[in-house]
Chains A and B, each alone.
Chain A
Amino acid sequence: DTGVSQDPRHKITKRGQNVTFRCDPISEHNRLYWYRQTLGQGPEFLTYFQNEAQLEKSRLLSDRFSAERPKGSFSTLEIQRTEQGDSAMYLCASSLGNQQPANTGELFFGEGSRLTVL
């Protein structure tokens, strides 16, 4: 399967624990995006990378959220000290982008990682 893969698909954790999600993009894609989706809402942008550079992170929901893409391939999204309000689907997407920031093309999404915080 050469699509975007996310792991784990489901994570149940207790409030206060740290969780980490992994995303493996389509191999030739240089851009990688993280979105969050709550029930009945559309995806909400969190952050994105072009290669290993994190070009936008101001939309991360708090300083408990951080993302990395150390070698420009896979990415991780970590949530520290989870809260019940963090319960959501965390979506990763990738795309092939040019060097200009404008014109996002088609995004290829993974199946998401569903987080439940008890």
Chain B
Amino acid sequence: SQQGEEDPQALSIQEGENATMNCSYKTSINNLQWYRQNSGRGLVHLILIRSNEREKHSGRLRVTLDTSKKSSSLLITASRAADTASYFCATDAWSGNTPLVFGKGTRLSVIA
């Protein structure tokens, strides 16, 4: 079963615009991670935010975490065509001895 639910399922923006993706989850977590996947390829880790952190930055990425609402957001600023990919949130809850549980992802298209 998938715990994280990303929203929107698909997002299309112009190059230079910001892209915001949201993730909601159901159980308490140790940390939440965001991954990127280009079509037909493996996943690449972007950023990890721990349950006691509220915001984290990495380059053009900004992640927030609200544990009271069980939600996270990923903001990509000044998007580029090369940012076109699927983005997944993954929660580390170790519920039922399951490591990272991934959502269904947001498909981002950045149009040049």
Contacts and interface: CB of A to CB of B under 8 A. Distances in A.
A46 B52 CA distance: 28
* Contact size range, B: 20 to 34
A112 B45 contact: no
Contact of A40 (B41, B92, B104): B104
A42 to B, nearest CB: 4
B41 A111 contact: yes
Contacts of B92: 102-104
A55 interface: yes
- Interface SS of chain A: loop
B12 interface: no
Nearest to A91: B42
Interface string A87-115: 00001010000000111111111111010
Interface residues of A, number: 29
9 contacts: A41-B2, A44-B2, A48-B99, A101-B94, A104-B92, A104-B100, A105-B48, A107-B100, A109-B42
Interface of B: 2, 4, 30-31, 33, 35, 40-45, 48, 88, 90, 92, 94, 96-105
Interface of A: 4, 33, 35, 40-45, 48, 55-56, 58-59, 91, 93, 101-112, 114
